[in-house]
Structure 1
Amino acid sequence: MSSSDIFIGETIGTAVLILLGGGVVAGVVLKRSKAQGAGWLAITFGWGFAVLTAAYISAPLSKAHLNPAVTLGLALTGGTEWKDVPFYLLGQMTGAVLGAVMVWIAYLGQFHAHLTDREIVGGPGAQDTAAADAKQAASSAGPVLGVFSTGPEIRNTVQNLLTEIIGTAVLVLAILTQGLNNAGNGLGPVGVLVTALVVVGIGLSLGGPTGYAINPARDLGPRIAHALLPLPNKGGSDWGYAWIPVVGPLLGGALAGGIYEIAFA
């Protein structure tokens, strides 16, 4: 497996992951979408199917890590060579940004309808336009940031960080115990399916507090895209929170690697 295979596989796979995962959130959240209001179950299963599809596509090239926390856990347990880690990370971040841009393209009309709605962003005819505009400008998270990145329901740094650590540790440990740390071609079709179901389970059980990033690239790449894309009235990208869905999953991946080495290796 060459460095170019790793980069291409992770770029394509992570782009598909974000396209389908961010796409289901856009479908549920944005106005004038046929899926609007479909709810949390649709989002969690949508992300699970996104993982399934992305992993099947990228596994032949890169073993389908799709997640810096997974790459770290595998490197710590000997399943990935450290020299390959930069190519995994670069591919994952590149793919995450590209996937987020594709979500924007696919839902361009819905983004415009949502972000020009007076009930959401204020405007002429609102009861107090100046107050509405000031409130939006002061907001740390814009009205469609949730399509791109995660955010907590209750802002508590320790709780939010621990939630991401715990959720990611479950994911990475589930992957390691299926044998992806061993030499070979990585997870087979059954392993990919199991991993996708684990992601659904984490979303249903642990996704409520923070939106379960459990993947630094999945959160940071689309957050960068949100900051750069020409979305009207998009508000802030919540950079004050952005470190938690990066550091938390990386710590969770390292924790899972340590547990694996102690209990299973």
Structure 2
Amino acid sequence: MSKFIAEMLGTMILIILGDGVVANVVLNKTKAENSGWIVITTGWALAVAIPVFIFGNISGAHFNPAVTIGLAVIGKFPWNSVPIYVTAQLTGAFLGAVIVWIYYRPHFNVTENHDAKLSVFCTQPAIRDTFSNFISEFIGTFILVFSILGIGNTHMAEGLSPIVVGCIIWAIGLTLGGTTGYAINPVRDLGPRIAHYVLPIYKKGSSEWRYAWIPVIAPICGGIVGAALYKILF
């Protein structure tokens, strides 16, 4: 139960801070309106690093089914715990998105752009191309999982690894994130997308379910391949 709560709360905090920075940048009349991609990528990097600091010693701080499943595939995580972790992660992601909507509700109400509102919750491709969008999410998550496993080979001062994980997220966002918005985490996209669908958001528009399978399936595939290659090499 402690691991379930850690994964749920950690993912919730990740989404509150991550979706929160997007809301701060894209919604109308916030103090940070139009502050740009550097702010968004930095916010997401910190959004990942902070709950890793808090919950890493309890659950391993996965917060991402692509990480959980990738580790299970290579024998570094028990398969019977995968459903528990993924359920906790999806629940936390949904709750985090609801909290972001409550927090920024007045700004949602004065924002007319449907795409901007949706982008607070989940990812959308800059250019809609199924193959390219899938490859973007696959490669981004491959880098994420392979890098997270790889940094374990370097001796670090105690407490440094969450910062390095945040830097990995930051690097992926800065270099690879502009094509699809770098979900690189199935529940980071799916949980908030469900929240967008069910919440009474003012003039919210479509939840874009036709695209939703890509940021779910591609990260899982990329995470599995990243973990498998790491095991082969190391």
Q: Per-residue CA shift, 1:100-141, capped at 9, x if unaligned?
A: 0010011111111114xxxx4xxxxxxxxxxxxxxxxxxxx7
Say if 2:27 and 2:116, in contact at 8 Å, map to a contact too.
Answer: no
How many residues are aligned here? 231
> Using the alignment, how far apart are the partners of 1:188 and 1:145 within structure 2?
39
Q: Which residue of 1 aligns with 2:135?
A: 162
Report 1:68-217 matches (<5 A).
68-115=65-112, 120=113, 142-179=115-152, 189-217=159-187
**Equivalent-residue separation in structure 2 for 1:66 and 1:150 (angstroms):** 17
Which secondary structure does the structure 2 equivalent of 1:85 belong to?
helix
Distance in 2 between residues matched to 1:76 and 1:178, nearest whole Å: 19
Residue 11 (1) aligns with residue 8 (2): yes
Q: Normalization by structure 1: what TM-score?
A: 0.84
SS at match of 2:32: coil
**Residue type matched to 2:129 in 1?**
N
Q: Residues 259, 222 of structure 1: CA spacing in aligned structure 2 closer, same or farther, 3 A cutoff?
A: same
Alignment-mate amino acid for residue 221 of structure 1: G
Alignment partner for residue 227 of structure 2, among 231, 240, 257?
Answer: 257
Moved over 2 A (4+): none
1:78: how far off? Answer: 1.7
My pick for the range that moved more, 52-61 or 255-264, is: 52-61
Q: Name the structure 2 match of 1:224.
A: 194
CA contact (8 A) 2:26 2:116 kept: no
Equivalence for 1:133: none
Letter in 2 for 1:201: A
Q: Is 1:35 paired with 2:32? A: yes
TM-score, normalised with respect to structure 2: 0.95
In structure 1, C-alpha distance between the alignment counterparts of 2:49 and 2:142, rounded to whole Å: 19
The alpha-carbon deviation at position 142 of structure 1 amounts to: 4.3
The equivalent of 1:248 in structure 2 is 218
Secondary structure in 2 matching 1:239: coil
Identical counterparts, % of pairs: 50
Cα displacement (A) at 1:160: 0.3
Check the 8 A contact 1:44/1:204 in 2, yes or no: yes
Amino acid aligned to 1:245: P
Larger CA deviation: 9-18 vs 189-198: 189-198
Alignment partners' CA distance in 1, 2:51 and 2:103: 18
Q: Is the 8 A contact 1:8 1:61 kept in 2?
A: no
Which residue does 2:20 correspond to in 1?
23
Q: Is the 8 Å Cα contact of residues 50 and 162 (structure 2) preserved in structure 1? A: no
Within 2, Cα distance between the matches of 1:219 and 1:159?
18
User: Who is 1:131 aligned against?
Assistant: none
Higher mean alpha-carbon deviation, 70-79 vs 94-103, is at: 70-79
Gaps of 5+ in 1: 121-140, 181-186
Q: Which amino acid aligns with 1:28?
A: V
**Equivalents in 2 of 1:80, 1:114: separation in Å?**
43
Task: Note if contact 1:9-1:58 (Cα within 8 Å) is conserved in structure 2.
Answer: yes
Partner of 1:67: 64
Farther-moved stretch of structure 1 (169-178 vs 215-224): 169-178
Answer yes or no: is the 8 Å Cα contact 1:142–1:237 preserved in 2. no
Question: What are the superposed Cα offsets for residues 192-247 of structure 1, whole Å, 9 maximum, x if unpaired?
Answer: 11110000000000001100000000000000000001011100000000000000
Q: Tell me which structure has the larger Cα radius of gyration.
A: 1
